[in-house]
Structures are given as C-alpha cells and as structure tokens.
Chain A
Amino acid sequence: MSTSGVRVSWLAGLNLGRRLVLGVPYVWLALFFLVPLLIVFGISFSTPKIAMPPIEPLFTYGADKVLQFRLYLSNYTFIAQDSLYLAAFANSVKIALVSTLLALLLGYPMAYGIARAPKSWRSVLFLLVVLPFFTSFLLRVYAWIGLLSRSGPINALLLKLGIIHEPLVMLQTDFAVYLGMVYSYLPFMVLPLYSAIEKLDPSLLEAAADLGCRPTKAFFRVTLPLTSEGILAGCLLVFIPSVGEYVIPAVLGGPGTLMIGRVLWEEFFNNRDWPLASSVAVLLLLLLVGFIVVLQRVQSREAASE
C-alpha cells in the first residue's frame, strides 16, 4: 500500500481487533457524553411548560401533518439581560482561580517533597495524598462543618490558647469555601506535579549549580519551566471542577456566596425552568472549553519555542 503512494486513513491500517479496542472509548464518549450534551443543548432552546416533562418539545407534528420546529432564544437573551448570571459566572471564575492558585502554592512544595523523599518513603507519602479518596467526597466536606463551627475544635483550641476571646465565625463564609475547595482538589494538583517533578533529572540542577546559579534562580529557571506541563495539568484538574462546584459552596458557603453551580441548581429545582438551567449549563461548558483552548494554545506555543 505504502509503495503505491496512496494515503490510506489511519483506521484502515489497523486490524479489526485494534479498531474494536479503539472504538470502545469513542462509543462510550458518544453515548454518555455527546448524546446527553446534545439533549441539554436542545432543551436550552425550549421553554418551560406545565407538563411532564416540564418543557415544550422542539419538534411537534400536528394533525395537520405539519412538522414544526420551534427554537426559543429567549433563555439566552434572558441570561444576557439579568446581571445575576454574569455576576455568578464572574464570581465562580474568581473563586476557582484563587482556589487553583492556592492549591498550586500548597501542592507544589508537597509534590516536590514527595518526589525528593527517600524511595522507601515515597509510596507511603503518595498513599497519604490519595487516602482521602477512600471516603466519600460529601462526607469529607461535611466534616469541615464540625471542624469550623463556633463550638468546633479549632475555635476551642484558639480560645484555650488565648489567641482569640470570641469564637471566630468561619462557617458560611467565603473563607470556608476556599478552604473546602483547596482541601478537596489538592490531590488533583499534587498528582500531576509529582509525576512531573519526579521525572526531572537532578543532574540538571547540579549543572546549574556548577555554572554558578543560585538555588532560587535555578528553581525558577530550571525546575519550574521543566515542570510547567505538570503545573498546567494540575491547574486544569483543579480549576475545571471548581468553576462548576455546587456541593462545597452549598455546604460551607454563606448565603452571599454566588456561584454558577448554585444558580444552575436553583433554575432547575426552585424555578423548575429546565430550559434556562440548560442554557446556563451550555454557557458554563463554553466557558470551560474556551479556557482549555486558551491554555492549550499557550502550551503549544511554549513547546514550539523550546
């Protein structure tokens, strides 16, 4: 085939077994990701109705044998008109960005420490990072209620030490939301960072030192650039779920904590407006995809300049 110079699609070059194996994830994605997404996309152009399910169908086929297709754009114009949605998007991005940054600042030294620990220690330390996953996410977030409450152990300790004289109000504040976010998503930051740092050849740092580079400068000029892929992966893994996070602000946040996940929940449950909720979800998805695309561009430009 190759001798004849005809380009054949890569798929044809594979045998049936390989094609089947490769096909499974595609079918999976199409069934459980693409189809639901299209349904949500469709609903976002509908309008609420008192019925089961509570939406106007996009296609109707009447007795007059006319197939009608109605597209309501009102949800998107409604979102554009009410500043609530923009504010919720902006606030979610802000909270997610700050949480990601905090997780990076906290996660990088952790990952570095684990990667540079003696071999015998590494797996133990690594297990400790993964260990929280052995209990339910919801349960771990709930545990913070007990820890942060006015009569909780943190306040009790601070009071006993005489550092504070009045119990601190920590629950139902933005502080609690940041804490919950960083706590919950830190492992997602540490894992890719660890894999990036572990791969880093220590002799590069030795070379830098030999050439008279100070350790701090070597960190910024050698370690950081060489682990940038890990940083990027970690930031994505923390940022993406943080933007749409519902549980943490609902459990730990205050009444003023405005996040898009909660707005979406309210549209769906309280207003029982599936179409508007779907529109919010579609916009949230576009926001995240846009973010990923931008990051990928940045990364490929970096890779090209290397």
Chain B
Amino acid sequence: MPTIRWARRLDRGRFFAPAVVGILLLAGCGSKPAGPPTGPGGTKAEAPVLNVYNWSDYIAPDTISRFEKETGIKVNYDVYDTNEVLETKLLTGHSGYDVVVPSAFFLERQAREGVFLPLDRSKLPNYHNLDEKLLARLTANDPDNRYGVPYMWQATGIGYNVDKVKAALGGDVPLDSWALVFDPKYAAKLKDCGITFLDSPPEVLDSAQIYLGIDPNSERLEDLAAAEELVKKVRPYVRYFHSSQYINDLANGEVCVSVAYTGDALQARDRAKESANGVNIAFLVPKEGAVFEVDMMAIPADAPHPDNAHRFLNYIMRPEVVAEISTYKKYPSGNAAAIAFLPPSVRDDPAVYPPPDVVARFKDHRAESLTYTRYENRAWTRIRTGR
C-alpha cells in the first residue's frame, strides 16, 4: 500500500506530530446532538434536562433561557432546516429529543407510524389559548389534535425586491400571481437580478400545481408531470435552490425574487430595513393560492424526558411567550390569546397576520405516500440537474 509506506516515511520526519494533531482536529470537527442518558424511566422524577429539536432561526433569543431560569431544566437546543432530516432522525428511533417541530403534513404520516407520544392535556393547562379554528383545520392532519400543538404557521409565497422587480419588468408587473416565477416571460427578465426557489420538492411542485389549477394533494403522476414541466421551463432562470440562504440574499440585494416562506421573507424585509441599505422587500400571497403550512410541536414516543417536554409545550403556549417569538420572527402563531400581546406593528401587519380572504386561499397540505415522495424527488432531481 502506498499510503502505508508513506506513513512509515512520515514517521521519520520531524513533522509527524503536527500532522497527527492536524488530522485529529479534522476528525474532531463533527458534532453530535446532545443526547444525555435516558433518565430513570416510568414515574420517577426526570433529570432536569430537555432536548429540543427545532427549525433553525425559529425562536426568540431569550425564550429558552427564561424557561431554564424558571424551571431549572437545562435545555439542549438543536436545529435542522428540512422536514426530511427530522423525519430521518425520528424514524431511526432513539433520537434522544423530547420536543420536535415537524410540519403538520409530516407529522401526519409520522404519527401513523407511531413516532409520537399522545399529548397529556392534563399537563397542558394553557391549551385553551390555542386558536380553535386552526385546531379544527388541523384535525385533517392530526385527528383529535392528538399529537401536535400548533407552533407557528405560514404560507409559501413570493418574497421580492420591489424596486428591482419593477425595474426589470417595467410596467408589466404581475405582483399578485405565481406567474412572476412560473411564467418564463417574467422569469427570463428577472434572471439577472436573481431568482431563487426553496429546495423543497413538495412546496415548489405544489405551488406550481396551484398555479396550474391542479389540486396539490392529488398523487396523480400526470399532475406531477405537469408541475415538473412548468418548473423545468423556468429552471434556466433560477439561480439556486435553497431553503434559507435567500433570507440574507434578499436582504442585501444579492437576489430579487424568492419562492419563500412568509416569515423568512419578512425577516429579509426587516434586516434590509435595519441595515438601511435601500433594499425594499415585500411578500405576496399569489391570487391562485398558496401552500399552507403549520409547524407542530410534538413529543417523540421514546422521548427521555416527556414530563419536561409537556412543561415546555405548556410554557410555549403562554400567550406572552409565544407572542414574543411571533414579534421576533414575524411568524403568526397558532395561539389566539397571544394576539393581545403583540405590538401593533406585528398584529396589524397584513403580511404577518393575513386578512381572512387571504387565509381562505391557503391550501392545506396532506401527507404523501412514500412512493409518491420518491416520484416527487426524482422529478425534483431532473429539474435541478437536468438528469
């Protein structure tokens, strides 16, 4: 083996030690989720530890520290940025997490596989603060609201740089429609200032189906093919597919149109405002409709600290706590009582809390079968790479 001979030679050199140090450092750079040993099982008191796994950038800065101070529970807080990563960890089992936040349509199929612990409402006295209408809507994904507590909700729409889009398109600006990104006529003109898509097949392909007037929850392959066809036509004009990078890029003017989650687009808007760089970002919910997404807090069935998890859920359901997260992240919460605690700038911002006629245009997202997911992802790879 050449490498072995090389290593022997290295041994003689003076630099062996630094090389070893370097390699060890390289090997040590991976991190793993904090998963302290399972506490004493059953009814005994749990160790004062809670492992939370949430979306990246999805909480207020002091939400966790206040909970820790109040309860004496040490929180290990980890983040992910796709539902798929969370699902893989959950299905592998023994993830070690106590609280996770899947989107409702992912929770739906995970719950069927026995991934979650049914919520113990007696440990959730703040449950009555939740929005009744939203809970009723969610029973489609989560019958009887058995496993999930709605955290934040959002739609997938379009975040855009108002001035750049107007400059690129002239007078002809369809600022109320998916046509802005799905019609090659407009997309071609916007190419140079930068179009980005979420790197999430269900969101983008379902949006394309909504634009085409197709039911996004149908699992018919010809509907999928129609969406693929549409996205392929605008593919040459898309700079990249990524689910969070666009927040920064919209804010600093690097790109001008993003298929975006509501809250993320609004964060981009606010960041641009703060840095006073002259970038003016707005968000639109297309008239054709938009994919509606609710992220649900849930407790894995094998959570090591289910009692602490319930305490955390109950804490988040306090109107003032969740209102602060909404204020900070610009996502509307599933907590009706929280609205009273919001500053007017958030409460009255139609981009954060859209008026009822806009909410009516949101399309519920249902769970997909594994087979359909494979077809969808294959279509996505064809779109992305042309293969």
Contacts and interface: CB of A to CB of B under 8 A. Distances in A.
Contacts of B252: 151
A299 B2 contact: yes
B385 A258 contact: yes
A102 B21 CA distance: 26
B255 to A, nearest CB: 9
A271 B112 CA distance: 18
Given A130-B22, A134-B25, A137-B29, A50 B370 contact: yes
Given A51-B113, A255-B385, A270-B373, A130 B2 contact: no
Interface in B1-41: 1-3, 5-6, 9-10, 13-15, 18-19, 21-23, 25-26, 29
Contacts of A233: 2-3, 5-6
B82 A269 contact: yes
Given A232-B2, A256-B386, A270-B84, A53 B92 contact: yes
Scoring A169, A257, A268, A270 by chain B CB atoms within 10 A of each residue's CB, the highest score goes to: A270
A123 B18 CA distance: 10
Interface in A82-128: 82-84, 87-88, 123, 126-127
A172 B3 contact: no
A245 interface: no
Interface in B364-382: 370, 373-374, 377-378, 381
Contacts of B240: 172, 254-255
Nearest to A134: B25
Nearest to B241: A255
Contacts of A136: 29
B64 to A, nearest CB: 24
A191 B113 contact: no
Contacts, number: 121
A195 B6 contact: yes
Given A52-B115, A233-B2, A255-B241, A266 B377 contact: yes
A133 B15 contact: no
A247 B199 CA distance: 16
B363 interface: no
Contacts of B91: 51-54, 272
What class of interface size applies to chain A in its complex with B? Answer: 35 or more
Scoring A134, A149, A196, A269 by chain B CB atoms within 10 A of each residue's CB, the highest score goes to: A269
Nearest to B252: A151
B227 to A, nearest CB: 17
Contacts of A269: 82, 84-85, 87-88
Contacts of A54: 91
Contacts of A295: 2
B13 A198 contact: yes
A48 B112 CA distance: 16
Nearest to A295: B2
Interface in A119-158: 123, 126-127, 130, 133-134, 136-138, 149-151
B141 to A, nearest CB: 17
Given A50-B112, A133-B26, A84 B10 contact: no
A298 B146 CA distance: 64
B226 to A, nearest CB: 21
Contacts of A53: 91-93
Given A150-B254, A229-B5, A270 B377 contact: yes
A193 to B, nearest CB: 10
B1 A296 contact: yes
Contacts of B15: 123, 126, 130, 191, 194
A263 B93 CA distance: 23
Contacts of A282: none
Contacts of A134: 22, 25
B19 A138 contact: no
Contacts of A195: 6, 9-10, 13
A184 to B, nearest CB: 10
Interface in B130-150: none
Contact of B387 (A87, A123, A192, A299): A87
A192 B6 contact: yes
B85 A271 contact: no
Interface string A173-212: 0000000000000010001101110110000000000000
A236 interface: yes
Nearest to B115: A52
A130 B26 CA distance: 11
A191 B19 contact: yes
Contact of B84 (A133, A229, A263, A272): A272
B2 A138 contact: no
Interface in B83-136: 84-85, 87-88, 91-93, 109, 112-115
Interface in B212-242: 238-241
Given A256-B384, A272-B373, A52 B93 contact: yes
A283 interface: no
Given A255-B385, A266-B381, A271-B374, A149 B241 contact: no
B201 interface: yes
Q: A-B pairs with the 6 shortest C-beta distances? A: A133-B22, A233-B6, A136-B29, A255-B384, A269-B84, A130-B22
Given A50-B370, A53-B91, 5 more contacts: A127-B18, A136-B29, A149-B254, A191-B15, A233-B3
